[in-house]
Each structure stands twice: as C-alpha cells, then as structure tokens.
Amino acid sequence: MGCNEDYCEIERKIDQEQPKEYPTIRNLDGCYFRVERDGKWENICFSDLTEQERGKVMAGKGEPWLISLIEHLADTLHAIGDAFDIYSRNE
C-alpha cells in the first residue's frame, strides 16, 4: 500500500522532528493509536502523543474521521470536568 507524495513528505518531516522526551502517559481519552517509540511499537492514547505523533496520526485522514475524533475528545473533556467538578475561571 503506497501513499501519495504529499502524505509521504509529511511523514518524513514528522519522523525527523521526533522529540527525545514523551508526555506523561495518562490514558485519559481512551482513543489509542499504534506508534513507534524508541524502536518499539506501543498503543498510546491520543492525548498522550507528542505534537508530531498527533500530526502523523491525523495526516491523510478525511473530514468525517477528524470530526469523529474531535467529538470524542470533547465528550471526554466534558466527562472529566463533570467527574472532578472543574469549571473554567473565565466569566
């Protein structure tokens, strides 16, 4: 399975920009993706991915897929706010 030229270029750039440190694993959103870290493949929650990993996961995805992800993340954020009675300080 090949990829189009633009998508392959995005993947190459993202691979070159991988940070040396990764975010704390919190497993909050329940939306897992298979990513390679330090030569090992791991299942990592979307919110625990680096910016570069998130870009790679989203690259080439269509609008319906992205909308679905956004809706899932919004629902999860709201559930966390409900669970811990969190409100924004903005009025």
Q: Which domain holds residue 53?
A: 5-84
E-assigned strand segments in the chain: 32-37, 40-45
Q: Looking at the predicted structure, is the pLDDT value of residue 1 above 50?
A: no
Whether residue 42 is contained in a domain is answered as yes
Closest CA to 45 of 76, 10, 79, 13: 76
Whether residue 18 is contained in a domain is answered as yes
CB 77 within 8 A of CB 86: no
Whether residue 91 is contained in a domain is answered as no
- Cα radius of gyration rounded to whole Å, the chain: 15
Whether residue 74 is contained in a domain is answered as yes
**Domain count for the chain:** 1
User: Tokens representing 3?
Assistant: 């990829």
Whether residue 89 is contained in a domain is answered as no
Under the banding of pLDDT at 50, 70 and 90, the label for residue 89 is: confident
Whether residue 44 is contained in a domain is answered as yes
Q: Looking at the predicted structure, is the pLDDT value of residue 17 above 70?
A: no
Dihedral sign for Cα 11, 66, 71, 31, please: negative
Whether residue 90 is contained in a domain is answered as no
Q: Looking at the predicted structure, is the pLDDT value of residue 3 above 90?
A: no
Whether residue 80 is contained in a domain is answered as yes
